[in-house]
Each structure stands twice: as structure tokens, then as C-alpha cells.
Amino acid sequence: MKRTWYSYPYLVWMVIFIVIPFLLLLFYTFTVNTDKGLMFTLDHIKRLWDPIYLMVLLRSIVLAIICTIICLIIGYPVGLILASREYRSKKVLALLFVIPMWINFLLRTYAWMTLLEKDGLVYTILKFFRVPNPQLLYTDQAVVLGMVYNFLPFMVLPIYSVLTKLDKNIIEAAEDLGANYITILKRVIVPLSLPGVISGITMVFMPAVTTFIISRLLGGGHYILVGNLIEQQFMVVGDWHFGSAISFVLMVVILVSMGIMRKYDNEYEGGAIW
């Protein structure tokens, strides 16, 4: 690869903000401070093999998967509608999905707290319909709701962008060959939009599995996801070694799941065609 001078700033940037932090992470993960100085160890990773921690990890992954699935179920039709001929000229609708992203996501999550809290708007409405003692805030559902709300645009946008680039002649060709809309969707549109779906899943799953703000605000102070666990180790306990170890394991989990998905993606398209 040819590197010219104008790529150096980016290289410096990557070294400072990606490579060095990553090396530090590895360093803290595999070392321990003893009387005899720094020693190599796997103890931090072994410590994670405790049911309490494993449950936290598992719960984070399950919630992230649920959130991703809901985002996909809501997001795909939205992408489809936005990309359809009727709406393509009307950028307003697409804009409506993007505008919330202009507001800090902490604020948006705080807004949900007010809506969901006791005597909040949603609470009052449910009470009005005589739902007995609705507990909304500080539940799994509230956390998933917060994630879906915050991460939905990351699912919609890649799908929308792949669908708008779809050659409309290809859809007409399918129609011409006798396919009705359902068949076209199944045989042509969905398979061709898979790259967008994959990137949407990636962009929702990753922040969902690592979130700690949404779980803190909507799940309550005692609600622990793996993101909260890591944050605690660094900010409260001050055990950088264990904090790094959890981050490392989480990173491996994410990389493995992405790898599996990429492989599935390639198989579906019948080898390295693209």
C-alpha cells in the first residue's frame, strides 16, 4: 500500500486513540501488581468465570439481541416505506427519523424517564385504563425500550440507503416475470438488501451490548449490565485490571459474533461475488 504524507495525521490519530488504548487494555488485562513488580496473569479473566458476572454478561447479550430483533422488525418496513417511490421525493419523513439524533442521547433518555416514572405521562394513561399498579421504570422492558428508541435510526438508515440504491429496473424485471409484490420482496428486495441489514444489525447490537447509560437511567441504580460492570470497575472500584479483562472478553464476544455473521452473509451470496 502506498502511503503518502497526507495520510500521516490519520495514522497518528489512529495510533493515539486506537492502538495505544488497545495495548493498554491488553496490558491491564494480563498483568497483576505484586510485591515483585508486574507479573503476567490470567487471573482477571478467570475471575470473570463467576456465575454472577456470567449472568451479567448473558443478560447484556440477551437484551442486546432482543433490542436488535425489535429494531429489525420495526426498522426494515420503515426503510422500505422511506425508500418507496411515493416517499423518495419527500425527504421530510426520512428527516423525522434523523432529527432525534441531533439531540444528545442522554437528554432523550432522561425524557423517557419522565414519561415512564410514577405519575408520569405513560403511567397516568395506563392508570386511566385501569391497568393495576403499572411498574414501568426500572424494568428490563424499560431498558429495551430505551435501547430500541435510541438505536432504531442506526438500523433504519443503512437499510434505507441500500434500498434507495436498488435498481428499480430489477424490481420491474421481477414484476415483468410474473412476481407479485410479496414474491418480489421475498426473492429480490430482501436478499439484495442484506448488506444493509447486516450493517444495521452490527450498528445496533454493538452499542446495545455495551451501553451503561441507558441501563443506569431506565434500569435503576442496582441494574447491572456488562457496560455498568466495566464502568464500576474503573470509576468506583478502581480495579483497572479487572475492568480491562471484562472489556477484553466483551470485545472477543463481539468480534466472534460479527465473524459468524459475516460468514453467513458471504455464504448467502454464494461466495465472494461482490
Nearer to other proteins, 122 or 185 (CB): 185
Nearer to other proteins, 173 or 260 (CB): 173
Cβ of residue 180: shortest distance to other proteins, in angstroms?
Answer: 6
Cβ of residue 184: shortest distance to other proteins, in angstroms?
Answer: 9
Nearer to other proteins, 152 or 174 (CB): 174
Q: What is the largest CA-CA distance in the chain?
A: 78
Cβ of residue 267: shortest distance to other proteins, in angstroms?
Answer: 12
**223 CB-near residues (< 8 Å, 6+ apart):** 138, 143, 215, 216
Cβ of residue 165: shortest distance to other proteins, in angstroms?
Answer: 12
The span from the CA of 64 to the CA of 205, in Å, is 6
Nearer to other proteins, 74 or 194 (CB): 194
Q: Could you please report the per-residue DSSP string of 13-72? A: HHIIIIIHHHHHHHHHHTEEEETTEEEE--HHHHHT-SHHHHHHHHHHHHHHHHHHHHHH
Nearer to other proteins, 194 or 206 (CB): 194
Cβ of residue 258: shortest distance to other proteins, in angstroms?
Answer: 22
Report the interface residues with other proteins, using CB under 8 A.
167, 169-170, 172-180, 183, 187-188, 191-192, 269-270, 273
**230 CB-near residues (< 8 Å, 6+ apart):** 212, 243, 246, 247, 250
